[in-house]
Amino acid sequence: MADKPTYEDLEQRVKELENEVAKRKRAEKALRKAHDELELRVEDRTAELTKANEQLRREIEEHKQAGEALQESERQASAAIQAARGFTFSYDIATGKIEWGGVIEGVTGYTPNPSLPLSG
């Protein structure tokens, strides 16, 4: 049969248990502190990412609008080029002959008259 622990043995065991409890309480406190710090870091990073995401959304919208404006500008330039093609003419300095085509006749009502040279 095992011997009964002595009062000193029990006192020593109580001290060991008190030390273990204190050690665990310090560990729990450190863990809570680390958890709280991590929560703050997560909140800060989330705010940063939200701000960056909003900035990217604005930039995407700006690019979209710039693309649409560019397409409209290209459409207008193409229409102007098409219209200008109808208003082409040539003038021969040596003969004074003017030739034109396209819509000039319709717009101005004049027809080319090769017998009328321009006088300067």
Question: Which residue range forms the structural domain that includes residue 50?
Answer: 7-85
Q: Are residues 66 and 105 in the same domain?
A: no
Query: Cα dist. 19→5, 7, 14, 23, 26 in Å?
Result: 20, 18, 9, 6, 11
Q: Are residues 44 and 15 in the same domain?
A: yes
Average pLDDT over residues 83-112: 76
Q: Are residues 76 and 99 in the same domain?
A: no
pTM of this prediction exceeds 0.75: no
Whether residue 120 has pLDDT greater than 50:
no
Q: Are residues 120 and 90 in the same domain?
A: yes
The per-residue pLDDT for range 60-87, each reduced to its tens digit, is 999 999 999 999 999 999 988 887 777 7
> Is the residue at 58 inside a domain?
yes
Q: Are residues 21 and 77 in the same domain?
A: yes
C-alpha R_g of the chain: 46
Whether residue 38 has pLDDT greater than 60:
yes
